[in-house]
Amino acid sequence: MIQDILPSMFNNAYAPAVPQDDDVLFYFEGTQGGRCLAVRLDEDGLACPRAKDAAEKGAELRYLFSIDSTRHYLALSLPGGCPEGFAMEKTSVLRRCRPKELCFAGMTACHLYEWYAANRFCGRCGASMEHSAGERSLHCPACGSVTYPAIAPAVIVGVTYGDSILMTRYAHREYKGRALIAGYCEIGETAEDTVVREVLEEVGVRVRNIRYFGSQPWGFDGGLLLGFFAEADGDRAITMDTGELDRASWIPRDQIEPSEDLLSLTATMIEAFRSGKAC
């Protein structure tokens, strides 16, 4: 999956330092749904600006994290916009490019970009927020409110019936690839409760024998994805929620095309079912 970058090591501790010329720089524009990132695409894959590309522009840089010895920064502001030699591309480019560790870094930077943008002002009193010097948090100097990066838990569900799995396609989304049942955990729910509710809401199927598969941070929308497999309990007739899906059908294991692109938890779960490693 996209976060599996060994032997490289991701260190998310907040350890700000003066940016050096070769530190990686992420610069975003727009919001979710129309968000773009400054990158360069060539035969070697994906490249991002470096801190030196913003050194003379009066940029406001925020330390993010490190991968091995390379530090990564977010340009909160960058007078003049996209650095020369780079172009603003949709963040979805991170899902199909290499190197993998830079794509993972970009996805995680995207998560923090949205958090900083959404919390410039205190949600309680409206005063301007300030960044803590010792941790990744924002605090309000007026009322003392403290805010940490928000992480939204969501489930991905591989619903099975014998040698078939329920595969879907999202409605009203740019992504039109194969998908599984998915949804965010609501207040007061366990992840298992969410599995039962989302499957029933989206396709009208009841499930049993819920088993945890694995998890994945998904910074494109600030989520932490929790993967489960579950079996259809009784009737497997589909009643599709057309507001969420435009396709839902049972696909036999031997009709699933193998995939080498296992960056997402969904793709990894589908491949695990196809190869007989999941259940």
Out of 65, 98, 118, a domain closes at 118
Chunked mean pLDDT (size 10), the chain, 279 residues: 94 93 94 86 88 80 95 91 91 86 95 95 96 95 96 97 94 80 96 98 96 96 96 93 92 90 92 86
Residues 83 and 130 in one domain: no
Residues 14 and 97 in one domain: yes
pLDDT at residue 166, as a whole number: 97
Report helix, strand or coil for 116.
Answer: helix
pLDDT at residue 73, as a whole number: 96
Residue 237 domain-assigned?
Answer: yes
pLDDT in tens, 124-151: 999 999 999 999 999 999 999 999 999 9
Residues 198 and 241 in one domain: yes
Residue 3 domain-assigned?
Answer: no
Amino acid at 168: T
Residues 87 and 195 in one domain: no
Calculate the CA dihedral of residues 227, 1, 91, 174 and round it to 10 degrees: -50
Residues 241 and 140 in one domain: no
Residue 110 domain-assigned?
Answer: yes
- Structure-token pair, residue 41: 């695409």
The residues with which 147 forms a beta bridge, in sequence order, are 138
- Structure-token pair, residue 218: 């998904």
- CATH code of residue 161: 3.90.79.10
Q: Show the domain range for 245.
A: 152-274
**Inter-residue contact 36 to 118 (CB < 8 Å):** no
Domain count, the chain: 3
Pairing relationship of beta strands 45-47 and 28-29 according to DSSP bridges: unpaired
- Tokens 């091995």, residue located: 68
**What pTM was computed for the model?**
0.91
Omega within 30 of 0 (cis) for the link into 7: yes
- How far is it, in rounded angstroms, from Cα 74 to Cα 78? 10
pLDDT at residue 34, as a whole number: 79
Pairing relationship of beta strands 223-232 and 152-161 according to DSSP bridges: parallel
Sheet holding 10-11, edge to edge: 10-11, 60-67, 70-77, 24-26
- Structure-token pair, residue 61: 């840089």
Residues 232 and 244 in one domain: yes
pLDDT at residue 143, as a whole number: 97
pLDDT at residue 77, as a whole number: 86
Residues 196 and 162 in one domain: yes
Residues 140 and 95 in one domain: no
Out of 118, 140, 167, a domain closes at 118
Residue 2 domain-assigned?
Answer: no
- Cβ contacts of residue 126 below 8 Å, gap of 6+? none
Residues 265 and 226 in one domain: yes
pLDDT at residue 176, as a whole number: 67
Residue 279 domain-assigned?
Answer: no
Omega within 30 of 0 (cis) for the link into 99: yes
Residues 145 and 157 in one domain: no
Residue 4 domain-assigned?
Answer: no
Residues 68 and 88 in one domain: yes
Residues 230 and 262 in one domain: yes
- Cβ contacts of residue 205 below 8 Å, gap of 6+? 159, 166, 199, 232, 233, 235, 236, 237, 238
- Tokens 């605090």, residue located: 139
Residue 66 domain-assigned?
Answer: yes
Residue 161 domain-assigned?
Answer: yes
